[in-house]
Amino acid sequence: MTALTIEQVEVSYRARGRGSVRAVAGVDLQVAAGEVVGLVGESGCGKSSLARVAAGLTAPTAGRILIGDTPVAPVGWRRRPAALTRLQMIFQDPGGSLNPRRTIESQLLDGIPADLTGSARTERLVQLLERVGMSDDARRHYPHQFSGGQRQRLAIARALATEPEIIIADEPVTALDASAQAQVVSLLLSLVRELDVGLLFISHDLALVHEIADRTAVMYLGKIVEQAPTRALMAAPRHPYTRALVEAIPQISAHPNLPNVLRGEVPDPAQVPSGCRFRPRCAHARAICLTEPQLREVPGGLVSCHRVEEIAAENGVTELSVAKRSVTESSVTGEIAMEASE
Amino acid sequence: MSTGEPLLTIDGLSVSLPGPAGPVPVIKQLDLRVDAGEIVGIAGESGSGKSLTALTLLNLLPPGAVVGGSIRFDGQDLLSLDRRGWQGVRGSGISMVFQDSTAALHPMLTIGRQLTEHIRAGLGLGRAAARTRATELLDQMRIPHPDRALRAYPHQFSGGMRQRVAIAIALACRPRLLIADEPTTALDVTVQAGILALLEEQRRESGLAVLFITHDLGVLSALTRRAYIFYAGRVMESGGTADLLTAPAHPYTAALLGARPHGLSAQRTLRAIPGAPVLPDQLLPGCPFEPRCTFAEDSCRSGPPPQVPTTSGRTLACVVAPDLTGEPVVNR
């Protein structure tokens, strides 16, 4: 069952002096129940704009969002229909999403459905805390009395209180330490599997998305450029941008190399390059790239690149192996010719 | 500087910060060395004393901090310097880049003003010469159109560009040692790759030494040749980075590696380290990692484990590790 459907969504902002900025330029994405979908991309690519629209925090300029079969209406001044609490969001900063002046208990009780009454509410509260690995006496404390990782777990408990069908997590562990990251990520993963919740996991950290997501979509300048099962996407990225992202992850190795440098910067979304939007930074760009590629089906995924097949043939190998990664092109930004030492 | 002496030698450093119940020891018996033109890493969880070590090296500790031990930099004893002496070290001897480049730059002054002010004060150059040097620096940092960039304000740049400007300011007075405290943590991987390449280039071309603080072991592996693994204000293990990360001897190093997403390797569950880091005011008689360590024995609780050199050139502070991993200890 599809828990969340994003259909042809566009988001535009009007910026003074820059005209209209299309932060999201037509995105289709589905998240099934019990599935984790990763959404990755550099800052400014529109991931968070998409998350906010999907959660109904802002209205899309075009397209629509469905939770199950129900369209999401943007949050207004009036109270949100109970049905729409089926979607919950987890933000990057749990310090900002929990009220500093209320106890954990009072905040969690807010989310527990009103048809539970009396001691059943408290029971549910204790259950929720247990579910996220917090002890029972956490309920009497205030958010500042917890560490960042614990606060994020409490934010997850609060999201779970309404028994949602879909959770959107926008960079939920970016602010945490590696060990706390591991805790929160494994918690999210086990919850998704046990409760059959859909999870849209937004992050700029590919390595992390690799640990958690079943399927991953890569976003660049407001568009999805590649979508595939995570493992395949990471092992054999097809789109040159995905490849650049994967190669930029520093690896632990006995013969370390500096990660590859992608030339240039993400362009201003108000001045999207003509044709393929990755063209100015792409080492494989040719004349055909002056026309805009569409997201099309290739074996095992979706890619928007005219030259996927040619690039794969040029590289000779489609599998990207870390140990044998050989970097010979000197990159424009780094100009460090790195020789593969293996 | 006499040949053979390391650029920076920290010997038995201890730092205590004032707490409600008396001074709280936050760095204990720290030994660390950085050679000229070398990139050395410090890794560990938050609260392990990484950043505090950096602040100690610039005498930027909060008032009331008590520092013991010795820090020698470029032939000088840093801990005996007065205010004037520190001014001679900061910027032109040791300089620093922080994680948050937005906070490091003044939002209402142009990049040019912030950069030239620093150059004029540190190198004693005139206005025009300082401007030339500023342009040159921005160019080295691969900032497009340096002339235009000098007239821009920080908010007009992306996070990666701002961090490059912050590095330009840090390098303005040609320091011998750059302390980089998680400079790429807030950045995208692609931007991070650019910054790492930049630091390596500075090391190779100008002989810059870098003390790189990070919690990302991938970055540690890619950039540094030697590293120190910190926990609760102590060095748990130190040695060649590739060595430490491919064959960790200390249970804490191994635990850190287990908690890390592996990027391209096989998908598996992350192993979080059980429990939480000890707080500085929780005084444990033994090894600080003992409560979270799966290999802990009775002997771990009796006293802090001594730092012992091993035959592979590491230093290891663990009583059980030598037997566990077969890492032979010198003069045990």
**For residues B220-243, average pLDDT:** 94
Assess A229–B contact: CB distance below 8 Å, yes or no: no
**For residues A99-119, average pLDDT:** 90
> Chain A: nearest CA to B94, how far in angstroms?
24
What confidence score (pLDDT) does residue A82 get? Answer: 66
Q: Which residues of B touch A244 (CB under 8 A)?
A: 190
Cα gap B200→B159, rounded to integer Å = 20
Task: Tell me if A230 is assigned to some domain.
Answer: no
Mode of pairing for the β-strands spanning A215-220 and A166-170: unpaired
What confidence score (pLDDT) does residue B159 get? Answer: 84
pLDDT tens-digit series, residues B162-176: 999 999 999 999 999
What confidence score (pLDDT) does residue B97 get? Answer: 94
Mode of pairing for the β-strands spanning A2-15 and A19-32: antiparallel
pLDDT tens-digit series, residues A157-171: 999 998 899 999 999
Total structural domains in chain B? Answer: 1
> Rounded to the nearest 10 degrees, what angle do helices A178-195 and B251-258 cross at?
40
What confidence score (pLDDT) does residue A140 get? Answer: 93
Percentage of the residues of chain A whose pLDDT score is greater than 90: 47
- Residue B296 in this model has a pLDDT that exceeds 90: no
Task: Tell me if A56 is assigned to some domain.
Answer: yes
Task: Tell me if B111 is assigned to some domain.
Answer: no
pLDDT tens-digit series, residues A148-200: 889 999 999 999 998 899 999 999 988 787 778 888 898 999 999 999 999 99
State the amino acid at position B200 in one-letter form: E
Q: pTM score, two decimals?
A: 0.83
Selected for mutation to probe chain A from B264, B268, B278 (highest A CB count within 10 Å) is: B264
Q: How confident is the model at residue A83 (pLDDT cuts 50, 70, 90)?
A: low
Task: Tell me if B79 is assigned to some domain.
Answer: yes
Q: In 3-state terms, chain B is what percent helix, strand and coil (to 5)?
A: 35, 25, 40
Q: Report the mean per-residue pLDDT for chain A.
A: 84
- Residue A317 in this model has a pLDDT that exceeds 70: no
What confidence score (pLDDT) does residue A326 get? Answer: 33
Q: Find the closest chain B residue to A42 by CA distance.
A: B188
**For residues B128-132, average pLDDT:** 94
- Residue B332 in this model has a pLDDT that exceeds 70: no
Task: Tell me if A26 is assigned to some domain.
Answer: yes
Assess B240–A contact: CB distance below 8 Å, yes or no: no
Cα gap A230→A199, rounded to integer Å = 14
Task: Tell me if B303 is assigned to some domain.
Answer: yes
- CA angle, corner B299, sides to B23 and B312, nearest 5? 90
Cα gap A216→A194, rounded to integer Å = 21
Residues in chain B: 332
What confidence score (pLDDT) does residue A14 get? Answer: 84
- From residue B224, how far is each of A135, A233, A242, B294 by CA, in Å? 40, 29, 26, 29
pLDDT tens-digit series, residues A244-270: 999 998 888 888 889 988 888 788 788
Q: Which residues of B touch A248 (CB under 8 A)?
A: 189-190, 192-193
What confidence score (pLDDT) does residue B266 get? Answer: 45
Q: How confident is the model at residue A338 (pLDDT cuts 50, 70, 90)?
A: very low
> Chain A: nearest CA to B241, how far in angstroms?
9
Q: Are B212 and B293 in contact (CB under 8 A)?
A: no
Q: How confident is the model at residue B5 (pLDDT cuts 50, 70, 90)?
A: confident
Give the range of the structural domain holding residue A174, as residue numbers without chain letter: 2-220
CATH number at residue B251: 3.40.50.300
What confidence score (pLDDT) does residue B245 get? Answer: 93
Taking a contact as any Cβ pair under 8 Å apart, which residues of chain A between 85 and 144 contact chain B? none
Q: Which residues of B touch A331 (CB under 8 A)?
A: 197
Q: Report the mean per-residue pLDDT for chain B.
A: 88
Selected for mutation to probe chain A from B46, B99, B189 (highest A CB count within 10 Å) is: B189
What confidence score (pLDDT) does residue A339 get? Answer: 29
Give the range of the structural domain holding residue B185, as residue numbers without chain letter: 8-93+173-325
Percentage of the residues of chain A whose pLDDT score is greater than 70: 89
Total structural domains in chain A? Answer: 1
Nearest to B259 among A182, A248, A250 (CB): A182
What confidence score (pLDDT) does residue B262 get? Answer: 55
Closest CA to A330 of A260, A266, A280: A260
Structure tokens at B103: 């906070």
Q: How confident is the model at residue A323 (pLDDT cuts 50, 70, 90)?
A: very low
Assess A341–B contact: CB distance below 8 Å, yes or no: no
CATH number at residue A123: 3.40.50.300
Give the contacts of A134 (CB within 8 A, at least 6 positions apart).
Answer: A150, A153, A154, A157
- Residue B6 in this model has a pLDDT that exceeds 90: yes
Q: Are A32 and A1 in contact (CB under 8 A)?
A: yes
Which helix (H) or strand (E) segment holds residue B27: the answer is: strand B22-34
Q: Where are the beta strands (DSSP E) in A16-164?
A: 19-32, 36-40, 62-67, 70-71, 87-90
Nearest to B263 among A181, A251, A257 (CB): A251
- CA angle, corner B183, sides to B139 and A342, nearest 5? 85
What confidence score (pLDDT) does residue A159 get? Answer: 92
Q: Do A211 and B262 touch (CB under 8 A)?
A: yes
What's the first-to-final CA gap in chain A, in angstroms? Answer: 46
Task: Tell me if B157 is assigned to some domain.
Answer: no
pLDDT tens-digit series, residues A54-73: 888 888 999 999 988 888 77
> Chain B: nearest CA to A231, how far in angstroms?
8
Q: Do B221 and A262 touch (CB under 8 A)?
A: no
Cα gap A165→A339, rounded to integer Å = 48
> Of B80-89, B105-114, B306-315, where does mean pLDDT reach its minimum?
B306-315
> Of A22-31, A208-217, A276-285, B96-105, where does mean pLDDT reach its minimum?
B96-105
Q: Which residues of A touch B189 (CB under 8 A)?
A: 204-206, 245, 248-250, 259
